[in-house]
């Protein structure tokens, strides 16, 4: 059991979304998703920890058939008021999803792992219901923004006080434990420093996608692989005896047909 978003936490997250950091990450998220995932219109996708539906709206705009789950009834109602009938919404725990195996093409966890109680169990459930890939988006513990978010949590910010932070190596270790050795692709959103905005060199929406592990936000795709292992069963008869038995069976069957 992790953090269930209340009205207070929702308001805190909404304030973050309106901040320079929040606006820049939300603005660049679509480019990040397209850069590491094979997005095709019409695919069925699930957003775990969908909150008030910010990312459901983004995924829907990308032409995807979206569904969302959240453990907070309050957040589900917020999402339902924004998306109406354009999305299937369910209140449930991320560790126990009410869906069949491989029911969705892709599963998204955007700012979700930071707030769950058991990341491994959540990832295993995500992999169970995904037939193609799982996308994870988290705050980067190694970035300057990650450091300032931690400080805000220590100073009383209720959202960041509740959050855990990850590095790319943390995510890879979780992926390996949850899914085994599966193909992984990742990039970071690197935000330009705010002082460049004030000096007029860049606009606040400017960002870059990078393969260095120090960006403000990590996006990672894990491709699902399903394998079947055939167990070797030792033969109980010699091959020559088996060949004779098969031949005898065929001749006996042929003679029986003639007699009939």
- Mean pLDDT throughout 97-126? 97
Q: Would strands 88-91 and 65-70 be described as parallel, antiparallel, or unpaired? A: parallel
Spell out the residues 6+ positions from residue 72 whose beta carbon is closer than 8 angstroms to its own.
4, 5, 6, 51, 91
Asked if residues 36 and 219 have their Cβ atoms less than 8 Å apart, the reply is yes
- The sign of the CA dihedral 48, 54, 57, 59 is negative
Nearest to 215 by CA among 32, 68, 33, 83: 32
Note the pLDDT of residue 194.
58
The token pair that represents 188 in the structure block: 């970071």
Instruction: Please tell me the pTM assigned to this model.
Output: 0.82
Q: Quick check: is 251 in a domain?
A: no
Spell out the residues 6+ positions from residue 163 whose beta carbon is closer than 8 angstroms to its own.
3, 114, 115, 139, 149, 153
Q: Quick check: is 207 in a domain?
A: yes
d(CA 225, CA 237): 36
pLDDT digits (tens, 9 = 90+) for 61-86: 999 999 999 999 999 999 999 998 88
Higher pLDDT, 77 or 157: 77
Looking at the structure of the chain, the number of domains it has is 1
Domain CATH number, residue 47: 3.40.50.150
pLDDT exceeds cutoff 80 at 100: yes
Note the pLDDT of residue 236.
52
Q: Which residue do the tokens 């209140």 mark?
A: 91
Note the pLDDT of residue 246.
45
Q: Quick check: is 1 in a domain?
A: no
Note the pLDDT of residue 224.
96
Q: Which residue do the tokens 């085994």 mark?
A: 180
Note the pLDDT of residue 193.
60
Express as a percent the part of the chain with pLDDT over 70.
Answer: 80
Q: Which domain holds residue 187?
A: 7-229
Higher pLDDT, 71 or 197: 71
d(CA 198, CA 203): 9
d(CA 120, CA 22): 27
pLDDT digits (tens, 9 = 90+) for 121-136: 999 999 999 999 999 9
pLDDT confidence tier of residue 183, bands split at 50, 70 and 90: very high
Q: Quick check: is 219 in a domain?
A: yes
The token pair that represents 35 in the structure block: 């850069």
Note the pLDDT of residue 219.
97
pLDDT digits (tens, 9 = 90+) for 17-59: 998 888 889 989 999 999 999 999 999 999 999 999 999 999 9
- Mean pLDDT throughout 135-142? 95
d(CA 212, CA 156): 30
């Amino acid at each position: 059991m992790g953090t269930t978003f209340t009205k207070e936490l929702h308001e805190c997250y909404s304030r973050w979304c309106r901040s320079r950091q929040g606006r820049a990450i939300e603005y660049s998220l679509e480019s990040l998703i397209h850069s590491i995932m094979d997005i095709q219109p019409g695919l069925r996708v699930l957003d775990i920890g969908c909150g008030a539906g910010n990312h459901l709206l983004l995924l829907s705009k990308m032409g995807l058939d979206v569904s969302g789950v959240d453990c907070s009834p309050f957040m589900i109602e917020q999402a339902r008021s924004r998306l109406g009938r354009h999305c299937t919404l369910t209140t449930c725990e991320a560790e126990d999803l009410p869906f069949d195996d491989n029911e969705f093409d892709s599963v998204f966890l955007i700012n979700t792992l930071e707030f769950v109680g058991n990341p491994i169990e959540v990832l295993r459930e995500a992999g169970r219901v995904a037939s193609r890939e799982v996308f994870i988006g988290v705050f980067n513990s190694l970035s300057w923004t990650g450091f300032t978010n931690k400080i805000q949590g220590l100073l009383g910010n209720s959202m960041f006080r509740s959050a855990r932070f990850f590095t790319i190596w943390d995510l890879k270790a979780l992926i390996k434990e949850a899914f085994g050795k599966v193909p992984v692709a990742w990039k970071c959103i690197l935000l330009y420093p705010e002082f460049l905005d004030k000096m007029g060199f860049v606009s606040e929406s400017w960002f870059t996608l990078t393969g260095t592990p120090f960006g403000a936000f990590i996006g990672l795709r894990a491709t699902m692989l399903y394998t079947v292992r055939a167990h070797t069963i030792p033969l109980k008869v010699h091959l020559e005896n088996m060949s004779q038995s098969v031949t005898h069976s065929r001749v006996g069957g042929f003679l029986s047909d003639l007699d009939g």
